[in-house]
Structure 1
Amino acid sequence: MQLLGLDSLAVVLFVLAAAVAQDASASGTCMGDCDLHPSLLERVRKDVAWLDEAGGITDAMIRNISLVCDAKIKHQCNVKAVRMMIKDGEIYLNSLHPDWRLGPPELLGFLLELYETSKMYRLPDLEFAYNGDDDASSPIFDWIDRSSLRVTFHGGPFPLLAWSKSNKSMVQLVPYSGAFRCTDDSFDNLLARLDEIRRVAWPEKRTVAFGRWNEFCAQYMYEMPTLPSGESFICPRQWLPTLSEQHHEVMDVGAMGGTLRGQRVSAVPLMHQNAYKYLVSTDGWAISSKFDKYLLLGSTIIKAQSSRYGFYYDALRQDEHYVAAMNTSRDDILGVIEWLKSHDVEAERMAVATQQFAVRHLHRNARLCYYRTLMTELGKRMRFTPDCSQRKLCLPLGRFLDYLTTKRETAHACRYQEVLVRYGTGRGTPAYDSFSDEAIKELLADPKYWPRDTDIPPLPNEPYFPGAPRRLRRR
């Protein structure tokens, strides 16, 4: 990591202090407090409950993660399960994302947020994996038939963290931290501009349902059940722009790069979307990262039906924090918009309640509190003592984050210094010094690098990723 000049360091410290103060004022709590929304606490408990049935987290269970990429690394399997360990309060990577996938914020934001959590709270000794794919809703780790699953997993699945899931998935939900803190239009940046967002008063907003997105649809969209109207479900990102073309007086919804009323559809900054009373949210490759941000914009959210959800969705109430669409018929959004227009007071009340929820329960300290709670619950279910001597790779996360600040593709992918200036990276410790930049670079250069530390014989195929279809994209 390059040393910061005094001027740069002052700027970093100022930004950090401002962020800390903003978080505290938004939540009404101080740094170190951990007051989780009851529904989020219940979500954590639901997500870890299957581990009690499985007898807790065992060393054999963790070694099973090696089997994910046992035969040949294909279908990006080393992206879908990044192995991690917490030992004596420090976090280690037991596998690495391939170099060509570093850059997007999904994994980087998670690593930084988890690292910050480990510095604010004492986390228990633990081993787990994280789904580092951009499609965290992948059905690969869904499970229905427990008996067949035990055979496939040689005794049971392993704890896996992801930012999107369905009701039949065994993963543990975490925030989509990259979208919350890494991007220019991140949740944290929008929260810092809340006063500016609130300057657009409700009567000044356009009475139109607005939406912009890339036109791609997750595979699960094509597996949704038939609607009560008898119509087959169709991907909202494909269908709603068509409906908007027919009802432009109440809808301005389009896929970027496409056309809408003869005009090419282009992106609209989130800070400008609060000019509309109604914002339409749809899933993309998985749950929408923009949905979290829509909560802050002071508009009523119209959410298209989905079988996937994020870590805080249980705390949201339909008709209190959002209104649903495409859950009775393909075009029921038209009736939803008409109802909102004729119930303007209720619509505004809903927009205010949604914004208040986001400010109170989704700020950075609240997310770190969620991470701490999840790690604590997982730690209670550990049935062995993890140790780096039992793993072929044990790269300190602080060391890896330090490396990321020097790598061209990742140096500006997230605001690392908000955390690293305050807490350091472990520089000077034996574990840190055992990995040079060149050594890390060499590990990342192998796109099929996958440490194997299990005594289970290699598998003849990949039971976890049997040629799963890639996401569909249509123009």
Structure 2
Amino acid sequence: CLAHVGWGIKLGSLGFAAISPAFFTFLMRITYISLSGPTLFKVIVKSLSPKEIVRIYVPNPLDRNDGSFLVRYRMHDTAHEGLKIEVLYGGEHVAQSPYILKGPVYHEYCECPEEDPQIWQRTLSCPADETQIEDDFASFPSINLQQMLNEVPKRFGDERGAVVHYTILNNHIYRRSLGKYTDFKMFSDEILLSLARKVLLPDLEFYINLGDWPLEHRKVNDTPSPIPIISWCGSLDSRDIILPTYDITHSTLEAMRGVTNDLLSIQGNTGPSWINKTEKAFFRGRDSREERLQLVQLSKENPQLLDAGITGYFFFQEKEKELGKAKLMGFFDFFKYKYQVNVDGTVAAYRYPYLMLGDSLVLKQDSPYYEHFYSALRPWKHYVPIKRNLSDLLEKVKWAKENDEEARKIAKEGQSTARDLLQPHRLYCYSYRVLQKYAEHQSSKPAIRDGMELVPQPGDSTSTCQCHRKMPPREEL
């Protein structure tokens, strides 16, 4: 049973196919279709049973300009018998079409978790190990929940806090907010609820930091010892455990529904071919770090190498008159330029995964901050490094212009690696593995604490959900 938990199979000459947990996508490699003209093939996704009416949204294929196309579809009902996928070229079936996906296949909001997490992880082809997760938990051979209860509210739960305390029991999610700035809990709720609809989660109790900066700066041998706060961004001088950022998880969950730019749509909108891109480095962004202001000054002095502009002033408002304010640009237009400059914001710039998925060379600022996938990337293989003070930026741009083929090779290698690391099902695998690892390290049983409330699954009265699995028992409140 495929369900919406995600899966991966080989589809003949279509190449690797992967159904993500939030929606469905597969990759087609059709090398005999001219990429210079319009896409002449179409994909039809429909219920396998003619008696079953299933609403399925299938946007046009995304041309990745390398002979491959991404085809996405999002279901709004459950297909109990399964799905038929037809790939047509000039009205004729190609690439061993049609393909039959035996059901049931559930829509995103159908609550029907797989009872065996190992089956779920095998179905998604989850990696056996994630280097960043292993590194993060090395500081916490045992997690003392009582220490967490005593310390976290005092250290991080004051009026300016941005921490949410979660307990997961019997696949139900409970929470209480600690501090004033916890509105972003909508994003942490979102991924936890989505996971719980797909797989039985382990019982655990933890704290998520919704703020920008990592929180735990104690060293491993300090007394008292560090505590495992979960954050979206890590740093070299902190011990926080890292989850994929709210930005990329939300864009994955809401793709083809509530967001325009997501990790897949970027891949079909990477601008002109490499040879036709403007041979300059490019940057647009807010004034969230002083180096961004330096970028604009460099751009003014070296317009033949760099096009940089600040689109909004908040931290350095006094600089707007001197440096000027650039007009907002659509993100897809960034890739009209051959080189992309990635400079930190308040912490790691969350645009970085999107830049990596484009078809441009990324010039990445040296940084103490990182997201969950950075450890898999290498300088001069996946991106070109630049010093934190940007003193070598112009030199690196000149190098790229003088070594065009090598620059293009690095850009392609970075793009290819990012495509693999940032597939929707990989984000789910990673988030689940963090929760699983955390539960394994707990030294006592989690509990529903005073002040916690149940986070309900979102209702969807317009769609049907008939789960074939035995549902987990619901805890009486």
For the superposition of Structure 1 and Structure 2, which TM-score range results when normalised by the shorter chain? 0.5 to 0.7
**Aligned partners of 2:321 and 2:465: how far apart in 1?**
48
Tell me how far 1:196 sits from its aligned partner.
3.4
**Aligned partners of 2:127 and 2:310: how far apart in 1?**
35
Q: Does 1:337 align with 2:412?
A: no
Q: Return the match for 2:454 from 396, 417, 426.
A: 396
Q: Return the match for 1:113 from 171, 191, 198.
A: 191
Q: Does 1:94 align with 2:210?
A: no
Q: Does 1:142 align with 2:217?
A: yes
Tell me how far 1:35 sits from its aligned partner.
3.9
Tell me how far 1:337 sits from its aligned partner.
0.3
Q: Does 1:253 align with 2:308?
A: yes
**Aligned partners of 2:344 and 2:201: how far apart in 1?**
33
Q: Does 1:302 align with 2:374?
A: no
Tell me if structure 1 keeps the 8 A contact 2:165–2:175: yes
**Aligned partners of 2:126 and 2:399: how far apart in 1?**
34
* 1:37–1:350 CA distance, 2 compared to 1 (3 A): farther
* 1:431–1:12 CA distance, 2 compared to 1 (3 A): farther
Tell me how far 1:211 sits from its aligned partner.
0.3
**Aligned partners of 2:408 and 2:266: how far apart in 1?**
17
Tell me if structure 2 keeps the 8 A contact 1:164–1:309: yes
Q: 2:131 is aligned with what amino acid?
A: E
Q: 2:217 is aligned with what amino acid?
A: D
* 1:385–1:311 CA distance, 2 compared to 1 (3 A): same
**Aligned partners of 1:260 and 1:422: how far apart in 2?**
57
Tell me if structure 2 keeps the 8 A contact 1:287–1:308: yes
Tell me if structure 2 keeps the 8 A contact 1:62–1:128: no
Tell me how far 1:308 sits from its aligned partner.
0.8
Tell me if structure 1 keeps the 8 A contact 2:148–2:227: yes
Q: Does 1:47 align with 2:143?
A: no
**Aligned partners of 2:349 and 2:431: how far apart in 1?**
20
Q: 1:94 is aligned with what amino acid?
A: R
**Aligned partners of 2:235 and 2:323: how far apart in 1?**
38
- Partner SS, residue 50 of structure 1: coil
Aligned to 1:291: 352
**Aligned partners of 2:400 and 2:344: how far apart in 1?**
22
- Partner SS, residue 285 of structure 1: coil
Q: 2:394 is aligned with what amino acid?
A: L
Q: Return the match for 2:208 from 130, 134, 159.
A: 130
Tell me how far 1:386 sits from its aligned partner.
1.5
**Aligned partners of 1:199 and 1:109: how far apart in 2?**
30
Tell me how far 1:273 sits from its aligned partner.
0.6
Aligned to 1:241: 296
* 1:34–1:254 CA distance, 2 compared to 1 (3 A): same
Tell me how far 1:373 sits from its aligned partner.
1.0
Tell me how far 1:239 sits from its aligned partner.
1.4
**Aligned partners of 1:184 and 1:272: how far apart in 2?**
20
Aligned to 1:216: 288
Q: 1:363 is aligned with what amino acid?
A: Q
Once the two structures are superposed, what CA deviation does each residue of 1:11-52 show, in whole Å capped at 9, x if it has no partner? 78768971589xxxxxxxx985344568x7111011111111
RMSD, matched Cα: 3.6
Tell me if structure 1 keeps the 8 A contact 2:278–2:336: yes
Q: 2:304 is aligned with what amino acid?
A: E
Tell me how far 1:60 sits from its aligned partner.
3.8
Aligned to 1:460: none
**Aligned partners of 1:423 and 1:344: how far apart in 2?**
55
Tell me if structure 2 keeps the 8 A contact 1:322–1:354: yes
Aligned to 1:65: 152
Q: Percent identity?
A: 20
Aligned to 1:350: 410
Q: Return the match for 2:247 from 178, 190, 215.
A: 178
TM-score between the two structures when normalised by the length of structure 2: 0.66
Aligned to 1:456: none
Once the two structures are superposed, what CA deviation does each residue of 1:353-398 show, in whole Å capped at 9, x if it has no partner? 222122211122111100111111111111112222xx10332222
Aligned to 2:12: none
Once the two structures are superposed, what CA deviation does each residue of 1:113-171 show, in whole Å capped at 9, x if it has no partner? 222222322221111100011x1x24x421238434x1xxxxx4432111112122121
Tell me how far 1:177 sits from its aligned partner.
2.5
Tell me if structure 2 keeps the 8 A contact 1:86–1:123: yes
Could you list the runs of 5+ residues in structure 1 that have no partner in the other structure? 1-8, 22-29, 151-155, 218-234, 403-416, 435-475
Tell me how far 1:336 sits from its aligned partner.
0.3
Once the two structures are superposed, what CA deviation does each residue of 1:168-216 show, in whole Å capped at 9, x if it has no partner? 2121001112344348999984443356324621111100000011002
Once the two structures are superposed, what CA deviation does each residue of 1:75-109 show, in whole Å capped at 9, x if it has no partner? x12x1x210111122221133674x753xxx5422
Tell me if structure 1 keeps the 8 A contact 2:171–2:201: yes
**Aligned partners of 2:298 and 2:188: how far apart in 1?**
37
Structure 1 window deviating more from structure 2 (309-318 vs 194-203): it is 194-203
TM-score between the two structures when normalised by the length of structure 1: 0.66
* 1:341–1:14 CA distance, 2 compared to 1 (3 A): closer
**Bigger proportion of residues as strand:** 2
Aligned to 2:228: 159
- Partner SS, residue 357 of structure 2: coil
**Aligned partners of 2:378 and 2:168: how far apart in 1?**
35
Q: 2:155 is aligned with what amino acid?
A: V
**Aligned partners of 1:350 and 1:93: how far apart in 2?**
44
Q: 1:201 is aligned with what amino acid?
A: S
Tell me if structure 1 keeps the 8 A contact 2:310–2:324: no
**Aligned partners of 1:422 and 1:298: how far apart in 2?**
40
